[in-house]
Amino acid sequence: MADLSVLTGGRAGDGINSAGLLVSHLFNRMGYYTYMYFDYPSLIKGGHNFTITRAADIPIGACREQVDVVLALNQDTIDLHRDLMHDRTVVIFDSGKAAADGQGVPVQEVLKEEQAPEVMGNSCMIGALAGATGIPFTVVEEAFRKQIPRGLDKNLAVARKGYASVKQVFRVERRGQEPFPLLSGNEAIGLGLLHGGLDAFVAYPMTPTSNLLHFLAGVAEDHPLTVVHPENEISVILMAHGLAYAGKRTAVGTSGGGFCLMTESFSMAGTNEVPLVVVMGQRTGPSTGLPTYTGQSDLHFMLHAGQGEFPRLVVAPGDIMQACAWSARALSLAWSCQVPAIILVDKTLCEGITPLLEGAFPDLPDGERPAAPQGGPYRRYAITDSGISPMLHPPVPGSAVKANSYIHDEAGITTESGDVTVLMTGKRLRKGETLGRETGFLDPVVSFGSDGAPTTLLCWGSTLPVCREVAGRLGIRGVQPVVLSPFPDEQLKAALSGTERVIAVEENALGQLRMLCARYGIAVDAAVLKFDGRPFAVEELERRLAEVA
């Protein structure tokens, strides 16, 4: 199996993320599946940033523990990552900024010769990477033409000199696969929401979902989409309430701290039945925690956030395919079932970059708009068998549309009647049952690996790709509930039937999915937990599994 990892490192502010993405595009154009991990501290300039681009001939979504090539834009990249290097790791470095055993690239001299600005130094290093790994220069040209059309000629001239400055160490074989679109999880979520009919997106910047805000703000420049960045997260979710009440399919984006501020209005969506979608990107907590690192410690917070009892949709996609599909479905289900929905992701998924393969955009039911009321005033909260009342938005001629955060009657007028409270609680619970039936048709539990093997990995969210790869290597099974509320306990029990040993793999300290399973009588025999803010590497997970075998 072809499998190559390239670490690109430099100072924050040196464009490391863009450089790593270009490395990914080179391998994408060579016909490989790629995965890019981006590691950065919470500062703007000067700290150490690095990316790891991994290329393989099977779809991947996790890093290996060691890298085969180091592309060093500074000395730190060599000094800080010795533990990731093996005997034959090739080090390519900017000879003006670093010294090492390997191939030096005279970046400053090249820039001077070409009278190119400092920022084009990365192009020189990428050219050198292509030269050292035997990637034809035409592939560099194609990638640059598509990804950095501005200053193309000069960038290519600089890259060509970088290409010629090194000797070829090995040769990456070209595979016959057409290049895929390379997307971050944030972008996949954004496209899924657009596919689901998104009209408006409201957010206050917070890692790891800020780039979703940036992406959709860019889309809104020339597409019919309203994007707002208001004063705080409280305003964010309330603007979303107003937009959705008036008929616009709306989502908000945040992380745990921002969602804390939103919970009061999240609960309001439970009672006023305004459809809301929250994209919730987890990072290492509690509180500010490790702002730019990953974690899966907010599952129970999402399941229980907000006072009172009300149905909610919580979906936790595991890769960008699922992120795209389930973002579209979450928006669709929030509106068809009139419930608040959470798309629960994390830094690993939001900011990791992988190819979007075919089939990410699901067919969605047409949202039918109920007819205007006949022979009587409109009742926004009419009692129905499904629990779902016809939802209209102002203006409705001849009728007032009343949304209310208090317990209310069918017309939306406040009541303190115990009987009406019981009726409306029943209506809410029936909505939850309807939502459970709807999600049941959508494969809420995903199985992978060797069917019938005695050991099963149980994972959720962004640990899916590493579990899928490890299950493949070890010949074991894997199961991932994508929907976490309403909890698909029947489907999960069916998926786990016949297994002898279930091992939960989670990036939190308490084993939150395991706790959730226990509530439904689903036994988990062991847990492999990680909570240092970094995602599992492939070999690391294998080793940890061996410890609990």
Partner 1 sequence: MSPQTLITGARNTWCPGCGNFTIQFALRNAIQKLVDGGVPLETIVLVTGIGCHAKMADYLNINSFYSIHGRTIPVATGIKLANPDLTVLCCAGDGDAYAEGLDHLIFAAKRNSDITVIIHNNRVYGLTTGQYTPTSPLGFRGRSTPGGTIEAPFNPLSLMLTSGAGFIARGTTRRMKELEALISQGLKHHGFAFIDVLQICASYFNASELYDRQGYALSGHDPADFDAACRKAEEWDYNTDSPIAFGLIYRKEKPVFEAQFAHRRVSVAGRAEQIAKILDAKR
Q: Which residues bind partner 1 (CB under 8 A)?
A: 28, 146, 179-183, 187, 191, 194-195, 197, 199-200, 202, 219-224, 226, 228, 230-232, 234-236, 238-248, 250, 264-265, 268, 272, 356, 361, 394-406, 408, 412-414
Cα 396 from chain centroid (whole Å): 38
Closer CB to partner 1, residue 100 or residue 217?
217
Task: Tell the smallest beta-carbon distance from residue 183 to partner 1 (Å).
Answer: 6
Q: In 221-255, which residue ranges form alpha helices assigned H by DSSP?
A: 233-245
Closer CB to partner 1, residue 400 or residue 494?
400
Task: Tell the smallest beta-carbon distance from residue 116 to partner 1 (Å).
Answer: 25
Contact 192, 360 (CB under 8 A): yes
Closer CB to partner 1, residue 28 or residue 512?
28
Task: Tell the smallest beta-carbon distance from residue 25 to partner 1 (Å).
Answer: 8
Q: Which residues are paired to 103 by β-bridges?
A: 92
Does residue 317 have a cis bond before it (omega within 30 degrees)? no
Task: Tell the smallest beta-carbon distance from residue 145 to partner 1 (Å).
Answer: 11
Task: Tell the smallest beta-carbon distance from residue 195 to partner 1 (Å).
Answer: 6
H or E, element range at 527: strand 526-529
The single-letter DSSP state of residue 284 is B
Distance, in Å, from the CA atom of 161 to the CA atom of 159, rounded to the nearest integer, reads 5
Task: Tell the smallest beta-carbon distance from residue 5 to partner 1 (Å).
Answer: 22
Task: Tell the smallest beta-carbon distance from residue 285 to partner 1 (Å).
Answer: 25
Residues recorded for the chain: 549
Cα–Cα–Cα angle for 261, 45, 39, nearest 5°? 65
Closer CB to partner 1, residue 400 or residue 523?
400
Closer CB to partner 1, residue 408 or residue 428?
408
| Tokens 């690993």, located at residue | 348
Please choose, from the candidates 230, 195, 246, 210, the residue with its C-alpha nearest in 3D space to the C-alpha of residue 395. 246
Residue 494, SS3 per DSSP? helix
Task: Tell the smallest beta-carbon distance from residue 117 to partner 1 (Å).
Answer: 24
Task: Tell the smallest beta-carbon distance from residue 433 to partner 1 (Å).
Answer: 27
Task: Tell the smallest beta-carbon distance from residue 361 to partner 1 (Å).
Answer: 7
Contact 274, 247 (CB under 8 A): no
Tokens of 149: 């059309």
Closer CB to partner 1, residue 385 or residue 416?
416
Closer CB to partner 1, residue 264 or residue 539?
264
Closer CB to partner 1, residue 193 or residue 495?
193
Closer CB to partner 1, residue 286 or residue 308?
308
Closer CB to partner 1, residue 12 or residue 261?
261
Tokens of 50: 């690095």
Distance, in Å, from the CA atom of 478 to the CA atom of 162, rounded to the nearest integer, reads 44
Task: Tell the smallest beta-carbon distance from residue 34 to partner 1 (Å).
Answer: 12
Tokens of 78: 């060599």
Does residue 465 have a cis bond before it (omega within 30 degrees)? no
Q: Residue 231's CB: how many other CB atoms inside 10 A? A: 8
Closer CB to partner 1, residue 249 or residue 514?
249
Closer CB to partner 1, residue 245 or residue 335?
245
Q: What are phi and psi of 445, to 5 degrees?
A: -125, 130
Contact 492, 479 (CB under 8 A): yes
Please choose, from the candidates 483, 215, 188, the residue with its C-alpha nearest in 3D space to the C-alpha of residue 333. 483
Closer CB to partner 1, residue 142 or residue 525?
142
Please choose, from the candidates 330, 332, 372, the residue with its C-alpha nearest in 3D space to the C-alpha of residue 380. 372
Judging by DSSP bridges, how do beta strands 250-255 and 313-315 pair with one another?
unpaired
**339-357 as b/e, with b when 16 or more CB fall inside 10 Å?**
bbbbbbbbbbbbbbbbbbe
| Tokens 């000199």, located at residue | 161
Task: Tell the smallest beta-carbon distance from residue 410 to partner 1 (Å).
Answer: 13
Contact 328, 192 (CB under 8 A): yes
Q: Tell me the residue type at 413.
A: I
Distance, in Å, from the CA atom of 182 to the CA atom of 17, rounded to the nearest integer, reads 13
Contact 460, 366 (CB under 8 A): no
Task: Tell the smallest beta-carbon distance from residue 272 to partner 1 (Å).
Answer: 8
